[in-house]
C-alpha cells in the first residue's frame, strides 16, 4: 500500500502514449485540467500542491495513510465473484470490487482520510467539503471526527431532502451541514458555495473536494488517493484468475471511483475500460447528467473538461435519480481518456439503474448504491453479449442503504 501513491510517479517519457504520467507540471491532461479560479485561492492551490508533492515523497505519510486505510477503513476491500449474477446473465464472468464494505459504505473515505492527513500536515484548523449523495460529506465528517478537526459540509437543499439519512449521520459525526439554496440546489451549487467559503477562509481552512474534479492539484491528488482500488483489484484478480480482467466497468459522477479503478491498468492495452454516466429520464436537456457522452469541452469549477453548458457557457440543468451522479461536469482526466480513446463512456437511465439495484439485491444479497447500480445496469446489458471466458470487474462504489428511501418512493412503497 505504501507504494500506492509513490508508484504513480515514474520517470517522464515512459508510457506517455496513454498519459499515465499526466498531469503535466501545470496540471493539464492534454487540453484538459488546469486552474481556472479566482486569484484569492491561487496561492492556496500552490501551497496544497507543494504539500501534497512533499507528502507523496515522504514514507511516513504513506505509512500513516496505510495504517488508517487498513485499521480504520478496513482495506483491502474484497473482490467478490458474483456467481448468480454471472449465471443469470450467461456471459462474461463478473467480479464486484466491494467498496461498499469500507467504513462509511463507499469509496469516498479513501480520499478523505488522505486529505485530512494532508490538512493536518499543512496546519489547517478547519475542513470544508461539498456533498451530493452525502457519501463524501459523511466520509469527510468521519475522518474529521476521527482526527478531531472542525468540519462543515455544504449540501444542496434538494439533496438534503433526497439523502436525509446521510444528513443525520453527518450531524451525529459532529459536522455542521450547511444547506445551499442557490441554483439547482444540488451538487454543482454545493461546490460553488464551498469554493466561496474557501475564498474567505483559505488561510486556515482546507477544502476537501470529493472527486477527481476542480483545479489542479485536486484531480491528480484525489485520483492518487483512489488508486488503491485499482491496485488491489490488480493483485486480487491475478491471485484468483492468474490474469488481468478484460473489462473494467464503473460509474462516473465526478469520476473518482472509476479513475481509481482504471488508472493502474492504463498501460495494459488488453484491459478495456467503460465509464457509466447517468442517463436520467432521457436525452433532453435537463433530463440527464451524461457529461462525457453528450457534453462539450468547457470550464467548470476550476478545470477544463467535458461539461454540460449552453452556447454562452452557462451550466445546464442536470438530472439523475442518483444524487452522486447528478453533476454537469466530470474530471479532466476522464475527458482526456475519452479523447484518446483509452476509455469508453456510456449512459444508463434512472429506470435501468433502479432495476439493477433490485436485481443485485435479489441475486447477490448486496444492495448497491444507486450510483454503483448504474455500473451494474450496464454490466447487465453488456455481459450477455460477450463470451464466458471473459472477465469483467465492476466497481461497486458504495452501499445502497442510503438510497432505500428514494428507491422505495420510486417503487411506490411507504416506509
Partner 1 sequence: MNRIDRKFQELQARKKPAFIPFITAGDPDLQTTKDLILEFEKRGADIIELGIPFSDPIADGPVIQASYYRALMRGTKVAHVLDMVSEVRRRSEIPIVSMVSYSTVFKKGYQVFIENALVAGLDGLTIPDLPVEENHDLFEMAKKNDFKIVCFIAPTTTDHRMAIIAENAQGFLYYISVVGITGVRDALPEDIVQNIRKLKQMTKIPVAVGFGVSTSDHAKMIGTVADGVIVGSAIMREIEKHAKDPAEKLIRYVGEFVGQMISGAKG
Ligand X SMILES: Cc1ncc(COP(=O)(O)O)c(C=O)c1O
Catalytic residue among 397, 399, 402, 406: 397
Q: Measured from the CB of residue 184, what is the shortest distance to ligand X in angstroms?
A: 16
- CA angle 335–248–104, rounded 5-degree value: 90
Catalytic residue among 130, 232, 359, 364: 130
Build a one-symbol-per-residue string for 83-112: x at contacts with ligand X by CB under 6 A, - elsewhere.
Answer: -----------------------x-x----
Interface residue with ligand X among 48, 79, 133, 391 (CB under 6 A) is 133
Under the binding rule (CB under 6 A), the answer on residue 397 touching ligand X is yes
- In the bound state with ligand X, the residue whose beta carbon lies nearer, of 236 and 397, is 397
Q: Measured from the CB of residue 111, what is the shortest distance to ligand X in angstroms?
A: 9
- In the bound state with ligand X, the residue whose beta carbon lies nearer, of 135 and 379, is 135
Under the binding rule (CB under 8 A), the answer on residue 203 touching partner 1 is yes
Catalytic residue among 77, 93, 99, 108: 108
Active site residue 130: yes
Under the binding rule (CB under 6 A), the answer on residue 255 touching ligand X is yes
Residue 173 binding target from ligand X, partner 1, none, CB below 5 to 8 Å by type: none
Under the binding rule (CB under 8 A), the answer on residue 361 touching partner 1 is no
Residue 106 binding target from ligand X, partner 1, none, CB below 5 to 8 Å by type: ligand X
Interface residue with partner 1 among 313, 408, 409, 411 (CB under 8 A) is 313
Active site residue 397: yes
Residue carrying C-alpha cell 488561510:
203
Residues in binding contact with partner 1, number by CB under 8 A: 36
Under the binding rule (CB under 8 A), the answer on residue 302 touching partner 1 is yes
Q: Measured from the CB of residue 130, what is the shortest distance to partner 1 in angstroms?
A: 12
Three-state DSSP string of the chain: CHHHHHCCCCCCCCCHHHCCCCCCCCCEECCEECCCCCHHHHHHHHHHHHHHHHHHCCHHHHHHHHHHHHHHHCCCCCEEECHHHHHHHCCCEEEEEEHHHCHHHECHHHHHHHHHHHHHHCCCCEEEEEECCCHHHHHHHHHHHHHCCEEEEEEEHHHHHHCHHHHHHHHHCCCEEEEECCCCCCHHHHHHHHHHHHHHHCCCEEEECCCCCCCCCHHHHHHHHHHHHHHHHHHHHHHHHCCCCCEEEEECCCCHHHHHHHHHHCCCCCCEEEEEEEEECCCCCCCCECHHHHCEEEEECCEEEEECECCCCCECCCCCCCHHHCCCECCHHHHHHHHCCCEEEEEEEHHHHHHHHHHHHHHHCCCECHHHHHHHHHHHHHHHHCCCCCEEEEEECEEHHHHHHHHHHHCCCCC
Where in 361-390 is the site for ligand X (CB under 6 A)?
A: 369, 371-372
Active site residue 188: no
**Nearby residues of 282 by Cβ (< 8 Å), 6 or more positions away:** 288, 349
Under the binding rule (CB under 6 A), the answer on residue 214 touching ligand X is no
Q: Measured from the CB of residue 383, what is the shortest distance to partner 1 in angstroms?
A: 39
Q: Measured from the CB of residue 144, what is the shortest distance to ligand X in angstroms?
A: 17
Where in 270-329 is the site for ligand X (CB under 6 A)?
A: 324-325
Under the binding rule (CB under 8 A), the answer on residue 42 touching partner 1 is yes
Residues noted as catalytic: 108, 130, 397
Q: Give contact residues for ligand X (rule: CB under 6 A).
A: 106, 108, 132-133, 135-136, 211, 251-258, 324-325, 369, 371-372, 397-398
Amino acid at each position: 500500500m505504501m507504494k500506492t501513491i509513490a508508484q504513480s510517479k515514474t520517470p517522464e517519457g515512459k508510457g506517455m502514449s496513454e498519459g499515465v504520467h499526466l498531469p503535466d507540471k501545470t496540471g493539464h491532461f492534454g487540453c484538459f485540467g488546469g486552474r481556472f479560479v479566482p486569484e484569492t485561492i491561487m496561492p492556496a492551490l500552490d501551497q496544497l500542491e507543494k504539500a501534497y508533492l512533499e507528502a507523496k515523497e515522504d514514507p511516513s505519510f504513506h505509512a500513516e495513510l496505510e495504517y488508517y486505510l487498513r485499521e480504520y477503513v478496513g482495506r483491502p476491500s474484497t473482490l467478490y465473484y458474483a456467481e448468480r449474477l454471472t449465471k443469470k446473465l450467461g456471459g462474461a464472468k463478473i467480479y464486484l470490487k466491494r467498496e461498499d464494505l469500507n467504513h462509511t459504505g463507499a469509496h469516498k473515505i479513501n480520499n478523505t482520510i488522505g486529505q485530512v492527513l494532508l490538512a493536518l500536515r499543512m496546519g489547517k484548523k478547519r475542513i470544508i467539503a461539498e456533498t451530493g449523495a452525502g457519501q463524501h460529506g459523511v466520509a469527510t465528517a468521519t475522518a474529521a471526527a476521527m482526527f478531531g478537526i472542525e468540519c462543515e459540509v455544504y449540501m444542496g437543499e434538494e439533496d438534503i431532502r433526497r439523502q436525509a439519512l446521510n444528513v443525520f449521520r453527518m450531524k451525529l459525526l459532529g459536522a455542521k451541514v450547511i444547506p445551499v439554496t442557490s441554483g439547482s440546489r444540488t451538487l454543482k451549487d454545493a461546490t460553488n458555495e464551498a469554493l466561496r467559503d474557501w475564498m474567505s477562509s483559505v488561510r486556515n481552512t482546507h477544502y476537501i473536494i470529493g472527486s477527481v474534479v476542480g483545479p489542479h492539484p485536486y484531480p491528480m491528488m484525489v485520483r492518487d488517493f483512489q488508486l488503491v482500488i485499482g491496485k488491489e483489484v490488480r493483485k486480487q484478480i491475478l491471485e484468483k484468475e492468474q490474469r488481468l480482467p478484460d473489462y473494467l466497468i464503473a460509474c462516473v459522477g465526478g469520476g473518482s471511483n472509476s479513475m481509481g479503478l482504471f488508472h493502474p491498468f492504463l498501460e495494459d492495452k488488453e484491459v478495456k475500460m467503460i465509464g457509466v454516466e447517468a442517463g436520467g429520464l432521457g436525452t433532453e436537456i435537463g433530463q440527464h447528467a451524461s457529461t462525457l457522452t453528450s457534453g462539450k469541452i468547457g470550464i467548470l469549477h476550476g478545470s477544463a473538461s467535458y461539461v454540460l453548458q449552453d452556447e454562452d457557457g452557462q451550466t445546464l440543468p442536470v438530472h439523475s435519480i442518483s444524487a452522486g451522479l447528478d453533476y454537469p461536469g466530470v474530471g479532466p482526466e476522464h475527458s482526456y481518456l475519452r479523447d484518446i480513446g483509452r476509455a469508453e463512456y456510456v449512459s444508463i437511465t434512472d429506470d435501468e439503474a433502479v432495476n439493477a439495484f433490485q436485481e443485485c439485491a435479489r441475486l447477490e444479497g448486496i444492495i448497491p448504491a444507486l450510483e454503483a447500480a448504474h455500473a451494474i445496469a450496464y454490466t447487465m446489458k453488456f455481459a450477455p453479449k460477450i463470451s464466458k471466458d471473459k472477465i469483467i470487474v465492476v466497481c461497486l462504489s458504495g452501499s445502497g442503504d442510503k438510497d432505500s428511501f428514494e428507491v422505495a418512493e420510486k417503487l411506490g412503497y411507504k416506509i
